[in-house]
Amino acid sequence: MAEPLLRVEDLHITYHTPKGPVRAVRGVSFDLGREKLGIVGESGSGKSQTGRAILRLTDRRAEVRARMLRFADIDLLSADERTLRQVRGKRISMILQDPKFSLNPVMTVGRQIDEAFLVHETASRADARQRTLEMLRAVRIRDAERVYHAYPHELSGGMGQRVMIAMMMIPKPDIIIADEPTSALDVTISLQVLAILDDMVTRLGMGLIFISHDLSLVASFCDRVLIMYAGRIVETCRASELDKARHPYTQGLLSCLPSLDQKTDRLRTLVRDPSWAEPEGTGP
């Protein structure tokens, strides 16, 4: 494999609270190449925290430690704010769950995308507008002119999320971190948004980190999957081989999903084994 875009080694995120430390992420390591990497886990597993730590967006009160957190030739852990600002948005960008909360409600969609472009490039407003319209067409918005002049509340959820993708893609970043990008959308719309993301990531050769709680979606969409539990990666496998997963947690998660194809009287439930939260080989 070529030099990875991103290397994360032994990442720890700890929140110091009056009740003692809460260890949200505990020793996560992975490499990201030009691929679609899924991070799956239940709420509180640390998957979103991991994604945010890469952009150094973790809450100020938390302590972030890692042996390595390296993007291309930049050490993200020791980088100053100036360097980080050049990375954020331009080279690594993030798509969040709900476009309603991520877009500025009192600014037209077009101006917001223009701004995303102008912050990172020196270009005239007219050029920016041209690029924005191209980008809106690239995310398959048919009536790009109308959407350019629309305000976020005038758009549907699926349209809003496509606008977000256009905004994140316009500086042509190397890595996109998508945190539950389609969970607020209806299933058919969600698949269409994913197809656009898939197409752009593949065409422009980006690395995608796809954070989701939806196992079957990740299995069908990504190349590789990390399964997180209690702040740790318990298993890594090829997405197409998720059904052959070996870790009891992954197997448990898969088996408690209701199936459309088979009739079962009772769903399997997950019996949590405390040893899953322990590092391998150091359990009691």
Partner 1 sequence: MIEIEDLNVVFGRAERGVHAVRDLSLRVEEGESFGLVGESGSGKSTVLRAIAGLITDWNGRISVAGQPQGKRRDRHFRRQVQMVFQDPYGSLHPRHTIDRILKEPLKIHRMEASRERIVQALEEVGLDATFRFRFPHQISGGQRQRIAVARALIMEPSVLFLDEPTSALDVSIQAEILNLLARLRRERGLTYLLVSHDLAVVGHMCERLAVMRQGQVVEVLAVEQLRQSTPDHPYTRRLFQAAHGYDPAFVAQLADEALG
Position 22 contacts partner 1 (CB under 8 A): no
- What's the one-letter identity of residue 181? P
Strands annotated E in 33-109: 36-40, 62-65, 68-71, 74-75, 92-95
Position 268 contacts partner 1 (CB under 8 A): yes
- Least separation in angstroms between residue 202's CB and partner 1 is 10
Measured from the CB atom, the residue of 58 and 182 that comes closer to partner 1 is 182
Residues facing 237 on adjacent strands = 225
Q: Which stretch binds partner 1 (CB under 8 A): 6-14, 61-69, 74-82, 263-271?
A: 263-271
Please identify which residue in 42, 134, 143, 154 interacts with partner 1, judged by CB under 8 A: 42
| Distance between CA atoms of residues 281 and 267, nearest Å | 31
Q: Which stretch binds partner 1 (CB under 8 A): 9-17, 48-56, 103-111, 182-190?
A: 182-190
Neighbours of 236 (CB within 10 A): 14
Position 273 contacts partner 1 (CB under 8 A): no
CA dihedral 125, 126, 127, 129 (to 10 degrees): 80
Going by C-alpha positions, the residue among 280, 215, 279 that lies closest to residue 245 is 215
Please identify which residue in 216, 238, 240, 244 interacts with partner 1, judged by CB under 8 A: 216
- Least separation in angstroms between residue 260's CB and partner 1 is 5
Position 143 contacts partner 1 (CB under 8 A): no
Query: Is 6 in a helix, a strand, or coil?
Result: strand
Asked whether 100 and 108 are in contact (CB, 8 A), the reply is no
Neighbours of 76 (CB within 10 A): 22
Interface positions, 101-120, toward partner 1 (CB under 8 A): none
Please identify which residue in 56, 270, 276, 278 interacts with partner 1, judged by CB under 8 A: 270
Measured from the CB atom, the residue of 8 and 211 that comes closer to partner 1 is 211
Position 204 contacts partner 1 (CB under 8 A): no
Position 275 contacts partner 1 (CB under 8 A): no
Rg (CA), the chain: 20
Asked whether 177 and 54 are in contact (CB, 8 A), the reply is yes
Position 220 contacts partner 1 (CB under 8 A): yes
Applying CB under 8 A, which residues contact partner 1? 42-43, 140, 157, 186-189, 191-192, 194-195, 198, 213, 215-217, 219-221, 252-253, 256-270
